Chain A
Amino acid sequence: MINESRRGFVGKAFGAVAAVGGVASLLAMKKTWDPLPSVMSAGFTTVDVSGLEANKLEIVVWRGKPIFLLKYSADMKPTDGRSVKIGEDYFSVMIGLCTHLGCIPAYQNEKKDFKCACHGGEFTLAGVNKFGPPPRPLDIPPFKLDGVTLVLGEEGPEYKAMMAKA
């Protein structure tokens, strides 16, 4: 009887130690799969937009995705809730992946719109879908304005205001 209860105690004590160790190792394994600090810090892209030319598409890479930056010329009308005012000028800031199947649409600077070669989807200069299979406008990446500098990956007040409207 005494032996039984001693064995039972040792069993329970081992179970407790093993459970703590098990949970701790699971946590460590989860952390090992987390994105590395260098990957996290590379998750922000900073662009100076003052040098951009109007009606010419600039593509920067943010988190492996193409980001469209388009400065409007005088005859290009801003779209409420989608065009970003930086300084005196309006810009389109959008993720350049078609919302249909993820192809990269091309900018046609004479027609001033985007056309996706894969399935014929078309978007306005502000990225609103106007023809073809795309189900919704081009996505807008989280951004923050810092004078004429655009920080992609951080949610600034301008971005939050735009999202509230959409």
Chain B
Amino acid sequence: MAEFKQADSVLEWFDQRLGVVKFAKVMMTEYWIPKNINFLWAMGVLLSVMFAILLVSGIFLLMYYKPDVNMAFDSVNYTIMQEVGYGWLFRHIHAVGASVIFLIIYIHMFTGIYYGSYKKGREMIWISGMILFMLFSAEGFSGYMLPWGQMSYWAAYVITEIFGGIPLIGGDLVVWIRGNFYVADSTLTRFFMLHVLLIPLGIIGAIVLHFYALRFPHVNNVDGEFFDFDKEAEKYMAGKHKESKVVPFWPVFLAKDFFVLGVFLVFFFYLVFFHYGFAMDPINFDKADGLKTPAHIYPEWYFLWSYEVLRGWFFPVGPLSGKDLGLLAFGFANAIFLVMPWLDRSPTVKPANQRPYFGIWFWLMIADLMVLTLFGKLPPTGPNAWVGFGASLTFLILFIALPFVTMAEAKKAKGK
């Protein structure tokens, strides 16, 4: 065994056994963050805090929730909402939190796209982030089923039905996923398991990977500037704080983050206490009924854009039915962001406003996503169906065009 000296302090005792001093340096006081960043760089910390809030409120809900088709609805709407002390608060925190975490995820994601933070060695940060987005989507979907209201039931029905479009095995696959011929008790219990255990485990693992992936290429900055982090860190440690381009994660970067976090939490709890209605669909206060379809079925706002891509295709082209086309477009839309680092063929790392073609592309993409989101909520009839189709087609064209747009941009930059 290694030689152990008598420790002079509690800290030294732990340091001898767990290397806490070195650990704190690596994770906090000597983890370097660029100086030239803005408030959009605080979203990572906001997301970590939101995940913790969802985890804690979820643990409290879990104590009273009953995953059974006969008991689920009342365990939420009667027991938790009316009997459990502050049960309503934990439910509203959990529901509003699920909605708000997607808002921050989208801000975080589009910040990455705007500043080109997925390029040149940062590919793994981007990919692990997109894996997190997919896991959070699955977590949101499985959790939405649990209150067992009408919207829970029919969202589960429509989304599991999507797998039926896969050739040959589709029909059997849907029955396998549901554990029954329709959305039933077996479906509820297995999605309950996914929501409270398997997907959260996956999320925690992906968060660790996401943070780890940051350590090598380091955080991007508002100018897309590359510099030697070791050299800048040396300057900082030598006391030249002004001259150095970096600051330590703790206490300097986090101090600024805590301010943004403070503002955000005021906004979040304002929603929780005074404006929670947007996260509580009135239709979901009717108990699930497999024999009564609500007039309009729509997902929560954060899934509307991809739902509209799925729905936009309502007529057959050649041998493919509208449903098949929608399914293909939906698969494309959900996978395409993952390969973003390879679709952008320009080597320049710069914010979009300093990139002539990509800047236009970026805002067109944002505008298209907004149109998709707005029309995803409306019934798909008359002119709405055509707007949906147009926006859905535009989405595909934008991403197919991206390699060409960025190649042209790279050529132009070289010519200068």
Interface residues of A (CB under 8 A from B): 30, 33-36, 39, 43, 61, 63-66, 97, 101-104, 117-119, 133
What is the 8 Å Cβ interface bit string for chain B, positions 272-292, against chain A (1 contact, 0 not)?
Answer: 000000000000000000111
- Least distance between A93 CB and chain B CB atoms (Å): 17
Q: B48 in the interface, Cβ–Cβ < 8 Å?
A: no
Which residue of chain B has the shortest Cβ distance to A135 in the bound complex? B322
Q: B259 in the interface, Cβ–Cβ < 8 Å?
A: no
A33–B179 CB distance below 8 A? yes
A118 contacts which chain B residues (CB < 8 A)? Answer: 293, 295
Q: A35-B186, A39-B181, A64-B290 are in contact. List 19 more A-B contacts (CB 8 A).
A: A34-B179, A35-B175, A35-B176, A35-B178, A35-B179, A35-B181, A39-B179, A39-B180, A39-B186, A43-B181, A64-B183, A65-B182, A66-B291, A97-B293, A104-B291, A104-B293, A118-B293, A118-B295, A119-B381
Q: How far, in angstroms, from A63 to B175 measured CA to CA in the complex?
A: 11
Decide: A61 near B291, CB < 8 A? Known: A33-B190, A35-B186, A101-B297: yes
Interfacial residues of chain B within 284-323, with CB under 8 A of chain A in the complex: 290-293, 295, 297
Q: B199 in the interface, Cβ–Cβ < 8 Å?
A: no
Interface residues of B (CB under 8 A from A): 157, 175-184, 186, 190, 290-293, 295, 297, 379, 381
B290 contacts which chain A residues (CB < 8 A)? Answer: 64-65
Which residue of chain B has the shortest Cβ distance to A62 in the bound complex? B181
The SS class assigned to the B binding surface is loop
A64–B190 CB distance below 8 A? no
Q: How far, in angstroms, from A34 to B178 measured CA to CA in the complex?
A: 9
Which residue of chain B has the shortest Cβ distance to A59 in the bound complex? B291
B175 contacts which chain A residues (CB < 8 A)? Answer: 35
B293–A102 CB distance below 8 A? yes
Give which listed residue, B177, B181, B186, B293, contacts A63 with CB less than 8 A.
B181
Q: How far, in angstroms, from A119 to B379 measured CA to CA in the complex?
A: 10
- Least distance between B9 CB and chain A CB atoms (Å): 45
Interchain residue pairs with CB less than 8 A apart (11): A30-B176, A33-B179, A34-B176, A36-B179, A39-B180, A64-B184, A101-B293, A102-B293, A117-B295, A119-B379, A119-B381
A64–B295 CB distance below 8 A? no
A33–B182 CB distance below 8 A? no
Decide: A103 near B293, CB < 8 A? Known: A33-B190, A36-B186: yes
Which residue of chain B has the shortest Cβ distance to A30 in the bound complex? B176
- Least distance between A148 CB and chain B CB atoms (Å): 25
A36 contacts which chain B residues (CB < 8 A)? Answer: 179, 186
B179–A104 CB distance below 8 A? no
A64–B181 CB distance below 8 A? yes
B182–A64 CB distance below 8 A? yes
B186 contacts which chain A residues (CB < 8 A)? Answer: 35-36, 39
- Least distance between A88 CB and chain B CB atoms (Å): 31
Q: How far, in angstroms, from A35 to B174 measured CA to CA in the complex?
A: 11
B295–A133 CB distance below 8 A? no
Q: How far, in angstroms, from A137 to B179 measured CA to CA in the complex?
A: 28
A103–B295 CB distance below 8 A? yes
B295 contacts which chain A residues (CB < 8 A)? Answer: 103, 117-118
Q: How far, in angstroms, from A101 to B298 measured CA to CA in the complex?
A: 12
B179–A63 CB distance below 8 A? no
B291 contacts which chain A residues (CB < 8 A)? Answer: 61, 66, 104
B182–A63 CB distance below 8 A? yes
- Least distance between A132 CB and chain B CB atoms (Å): 10
A133–B381 CB distance below 8 A? yes
Q: How far, in angstroms, from A102 to B297 measured CA to CA in the complex?
A: 10
A64–B180 CB distance below 8 A? yes
- Least distance between A17 CB and chain B CB atoms (Å): 26
A133 contacts which chain B residues (CB < 8 A)? Answer: 381
A30 contacts which chain B residues (CB < 8 A)? Answer: 176
Q: How far, in angstroms, from A117 to B292 measured CA to CA in the complex?
A: 12
A33–B180 CB distance below 8 A? no
- Least distance between A37 CB and chain B CB atoms (Å): 12
A104–B292 CB distance below 8 A? yes
Q: How far, in angstroms, from A30 to B172 measured CA to CA in the complex?
A: 13
- Least distance between B90 CB and chain A CB atoms (Å): 31
A102 contacts which chain B residues (CB < 8 A)? Answer: 157, 293
Which residue of chain A has the shortest Cβ distance to B179 in the bound complex? A35
- Least distance between B326 CB and chain A CB atoms (Å): 13
Which residue of chain A has the shortest Cβ distance to B311 in the bound complex? A101
- Least distance between A137 CB and chain B CB atoms (Å): 16
Which residue of chain B has the shortest Cβ distance to A120 in the bound complex? B381
9 nearest A-B pairs in the assembled complex, by CB-CB distance? A64-B182, A63-B181, A103-B293, A64-B290, A39-B180, A102-B293, A118-B295, A35-B179, A66-B291
Q: How far, in angstroms, from A66 to B176 measured CA to CA in the complex?
A: 21
Which residue of chain B has the shortest Cβ distance to A64 in the bound complex? B182
Which residue of chain A has the shortest Cβ distance to B315 in the bound complex? A135
Q: How far, in angstroms, from A117 to B295 measured CA to CA in the complex?
A: 8
Q: How far, in angstroms, from A61 to B291 measured CA to CA in the complex?
A: 9
Q: How far, in angstroms, from A33 to B184 measured CA to CA in the complex?
A: 13
Q: How far, in angstroms, from A24 to B175 measured CA to CA in the complex?
A: 22
